[in-house]
Structure formats: structure tokens, C-alpha cells
Structure 1
């Protein structure tokens, strides 16, 4: 039985990856410090003999006993609400945390996959975004703590690959959605879903003409799984290339939920990207991958998940008290 370490395992995407690898016959070691992750995302794995959990902050030294075949580094705040509240921790997990895990991979002779993001492209001047585009990022803007953490993460990963010959993989993740997303985390889908379910008007920042491309979580996990097992070391976009404006998407949510709310408009935050659409030609070529799940199907599954949440979860505005982490 091969062994895989997944950091950020209690997060939305990390928990789905955990399920996939267990189903594929791997022994999974999950690691999280719950700064943004949720224990509820792992509750269904309690007592599973092929799952082990370690509560740990990857910005501190990481050690795993015994052999290790693969590492998937998904530990990082990923929503604007989180990384704007804990900017230093966000930078640390992208730098110190990545360094620690690359070191662990080197010692264990394990292959490591790093979770990067479409945010490395910033507010892109090239559309759709290809992997050879270097991006348009404001390094000192409020979003820079996340964007630059991920850009550094890619740089140090490639340095380990070139200098140490480490087997590395880099996935650039575009907007992903599905069950286990956290309401009110600042991302488009949970924000709209939460507002609709609470009977509030849907808030659009800007005029709604900005675009996003939404990939259902099962498709995203499939792409990541194929990339890990491939022989390709450079970054690969994994996302859904079907683009939609935020205004049109808000109207889809209102129709799906049958809530009939109005749309209200607020000022666009600084450096918020106006376009986000992946070019997935490379993923098609080297992974034989493209998304299969239509947005209508994925959104219905996601809506049913959010509808199942308790009233306490639905109205809870803040996930965590970050004061202990802000001191670090």
C-alpha cells in the first residue's frame, strides 16, 4: 500500500483529495492545523484504517515516520477573507511551509505536488491564461500576500526540481466548487449561496462584467490525480474553460434557488481580477483531461449541500478567531 501525505487535509479541496486517494487504495496521512480547515470535513473518515491524522502547522519542522511515496501540499488560506485577515501566516505557509515539505520529500525520496493557483496570473493581460504567461501581479497590494506566496512556492519547487533532482508537480488551480465549501469565505459561490439561503440580496462587487470559470470539485480532483502520476514537472492549469460573467452567474443562482432576490452592486476591491479563464490545452495533451461535469449539475449538488447545513452554520459570519495566529 503506497503512502501519501496531504497537507491542508481538512480544507475543501484537501478533504476531497483524501477521499480519492483512500478510494484508490492509498494509505493517507492528513495534516492540518485547522486555521481555516474544518474537522467536520474529516468526520466521515473516523475509524478508517487507511487514514491517519496529524494536527500540525507546516510552517514548523515536518517529520513523518517511515516511508512516504507522495506529498500533496494543499495547506494555505485560499479565500480573500482568510488571507486578508492572516496575511503573514499566508506568506509563511507558502514559503516556510513549502520549504519544509520539499525538504521532507527530498529526505523520503517522495514525489511532491504543490497546489498553486490561477492567482499567480494576477489581473491578467492575456486571455485565456496559458501556463507560459508570467502574470500581472501587484506585489504590494492586499492580495499580494496570497499571489506572491504562491509565486514563490512555484519558484522554490522548481529550484528543488532542478538543483536536487526532486520529482515535483505543480497544479495551477482555477475556481473550484462543490460540497464542503465554507459559507461566507469571500469566494463567489459560497457568498451567493449563503445570501440566497438567508433571503438576502446578492452582492456583486464591480459592475458584474468580470468573468470567472468554475470547475466542479470531482473534475478538479481527477486532474490533480492525473498530474501527480504524470511525468510532467512544470505548472499545469486545471480548471473549467467555460467562462461566465459574475452578473450572469448571480442570475443563475437566483434561478436555481428560487429565492427571487435582487442584485446589489458595491465597489470592486483593489486588484480583483477582471477576467479568469484557463487555457487547458496542456492538460488535454499531457493528461488527457478536461472537465466533464456541467455547471448546472455541479451547482445543484452544491446547492443541496448548502441547504443541508444547520441554521447556525448558515448564519455564522466568521469561521475562526485568528488572533493567536496574527501574533506569529
Structure 2
């Protein structure tokens, strides 16, 4: 197949490029490096079936090549420090970037795949979160530039499916980690690992009892591949339902890294969800998918890769 991926230099995008090339497909990567990393693109530049376009997809996607089979839209800052630094750009890539991707898919009669997020559920009142839950989101808070961009992206994707017949897929990605995350990503696993490596206390916001579920990137990529192989247009949760408090996560990281861990407590950020856990019943039923990599195994893989994948860009 001929596959175009926006956000190809990002954490998840680069793993998708790698998987598609391994499976024999041709890949066109698109990124403007607002949060992606040039070293991720460099991994594939000499591959004969990889082409790269440096572009801001909010302004358009300058692809003029052969007919596409898929357009995968993974472009967006995805961690709070990045999308809060670039709130307008985050909103635009969710709105205009998604529409440009949909128009490109329509032009080529290609299928369209949207990377949405568990952030559409906000600080949920339903636990765990099924796809049918509409969420509890602050539409004008500090996180709203990302939350609302993704909620709009889902809406316009479904509109193009219903009104224009575009064959679409939507995933809601829950916390995912692994090699090639930026060192300054700002999400909890990256923060904890790098603080431990520097011999610093791990920063705990609030009392550390808020929970997250952590999915290793290989499990996410497998779920994406399986969804591409079935016909289903509504959103699908992809995440690991095993829940950890931040204090439990700190303890696991200490064990994996064989460090004596000290903790430093700070106030809880605005609109930070207290709980986040996916209901993956739908993915299990339609994709025969569930996560395979334990938190300890995934963290060991991450730590062993840190020299080449988590260096500051």
C-alpha cells in the first residue's frame, strides 16, 4: 500500500513508519517538527520506500504523488507542556489539519485514520471510560486547546464519513510510552525516568493517588494495524486497562532502574484528571486485541533505549 502519515517524526508516528516499512508498504511522512524530532525522520531517510515532506499540515498537505491507499493523521503536540506552549497551532492541526487530511483522502479515494485521545473524556465521571461516554471537559481551560481540537477532529471525521463517504477510522489513545519519546515530553513516565537518571527526586503532583493506565507503544501499533484491517467507523479506545497511582508508578520505576527513589510533592495542575482508565471491551471484541506488554517490561525497554531515543533535540 501507499500510506501517508502526518506527524511522522513524532513518537507514535515514527513507530508507524517503521512498522509499515517492515511490512513492505511505501510511506510518505509529513511533519513540521513543532514537536516531532528530526532524528526520528533520519532513521528512515535512506529507505527506498520512504519519502518525507516537511510541511505544516494546518496549511495544507503538499503531496502530488501516486494514488494513496491510506491517510493517517497523527500530527499534533500531545503532551501538556507542548500543546500549552503552542495552543493555537494545536487547535489548527486538529481542525484545519484534519480537514486537509480528509480532503486528501477524498481526492485519492483513500481511507482515513484519525488519532484521537483519551483527553476527549476530560476529568471523567464514569470509570473506566467506554467509547459511549461523552466526557467531562472544560472547554476553555489550560488543556482545552488539545481536548477540543481532538473532539472537533472526531466530529469532522464522522461528518466526512457520513456526508462524503470517506472510509474512516478513529482511535482514542490512552497514555502510551516507549522509545523515541522526547526527553522534555513532560508526561509522567518521561519525567520520572529522566529525574531518576539525574538522581533527582520524582515530582508528585497532588497526593499521588491520581491514576493512569500505561500502554507500551508496540501494543498501540498492533491495535492500529488491526483496526486498519476491519471496517468500523466509530471511535475505539486503545489503552492498557491496568491502573496505577502515581506513587505506584514511582515505585515500579525505582525497581526497574534499581534506584532509591525520593519524592517531591507539588500542587496538582489545573484540570488534571483524577482517574483515567480505558474500557477496551470494544477493541477486544472487534479486533481481538488487548495489551501484551507489562509496565515493568515496557519500562525496561524504554530505559535500555534512552541513549538514542530520549536525548534532547
TM-score category (smaller protein): over 0.9
Structure-1 separation of matches of 2:11 and 2:2: 21
TM-score normalized with structure 2 length: 0.97
1:257 deviates by 1.4
Q: Which residue of 2 aligns with 1:81?
A: 81
In the other structure, the counterpart of 1:323 is: none
Deviates more, 1:162-171 or 1:56-65: 56-65
| Structure-1 residue corresponding to 2:43 | 44
Distance, in Å, in 2 between the alignment partners of 1:71 and 1:102 is 8
Distance in 2 separating the partners of 1:201 and 1:263: 5
1:102 aligns with 2:102: yes
Q: Please report the RMSD computed on the Cα atoms of aligned residues, expressed in angstroms.
A: 1.2
Determine helix, strand or coil for the equivalent of 1:36: coil
Question: CA separation in 2, counterparts of 1:258 and 1:130?
Answer: 36
1:208 aligns to 2:201 (yes or no):
no
Secondary structure in 2 matching 1:231: coil
| Residue of structure 1 in register with 2:27 after alignment | 28
Matched residue count: 312
2:157 corresponds to 1:130: no
Q: 1 CA distance for matches of 2:308 and 2:59?
A: 34
C-alpha displacement of 1:309: 4.7
Per-residue CA deviation, residues 242-264 of structure 1 (Å, 9 max, x unaligned), is: 11101110111122212213111
Provide, for residues 263-319 of structure 1, a one-character-per-residue CA deviation record: whole Å limited to 9, x for no partner: 11100001001101000000011011111111111110001112x259xx76x5xx6
CA contact (8 A) 1:211 1:245 kept: yes
Q: Determine if contact 2:6/2:72 at 8 Å carries over to the other structure.
A: yes
CA–CA separation in structure 2 for the residues paired with 1:63 and 1:34: 16
The aligned runs of 1:298-313 (5 Å cut-off) are: 298-306=298-306, 308-309=307-308
CA distance in 2, matches of 1:175, 1:23: 25
**1:79, 1:186 within 8 Å by CA — same for their partners in 2?**
yes
Residue 117 of structure 2: aligned partner: 117
Looking at structure 2, the residues matched to 62 and 239 of structure 1 have their Cα atoms a distance apart, in angstroms, of 29
Q: Decide whether the 8 Å contact of 1:63 with 1:104 is kept in 2.
A: no
Q: Aligned to 2:43, what secondary structure does the other structure show?
A: helix
| Equivalent position of 2:5 in the other structure | 6
Q: What does 1:55-204 correspond to in 2, within 5 Å?
A: 55-64=54-63, 65-204=65-204
* Aligned counterparts of 1:6 and 1:142: Cα–Cα separation in 2: 28
Contact 2:45–2:51 (CA<8 Å) still a contact in 1? Answer: no
Name stretches of at least 5 consecutive residues in structure 1 with no aligned partner: 320-328
Alignment partners' CA distance in 2, 1:179 and 1:186:
15
Q: Tell me the TM-score normalised to structure 1 length.
A: 0.93
Q: Distance in 2 between the 1:62 and 1:258 partners?
A: 46
Structure 1's consecutive aligned runs of 4 or more residues displaced over 3 angstroms after TM superposition are none
**1:310-325 alignment, distance < 5 Å:** none
- After superposition, the C-alpha distances for 1:97-137 in whole angstroms (9 at most, x for unaligned) are 00111111111110000000000000000000000000000
Unaligned runs of 5+ in 2: none
Report the Cα distance in structure 2 between the residues aligned to 1:263 and 1:251, rounded to whole angstroms: 10
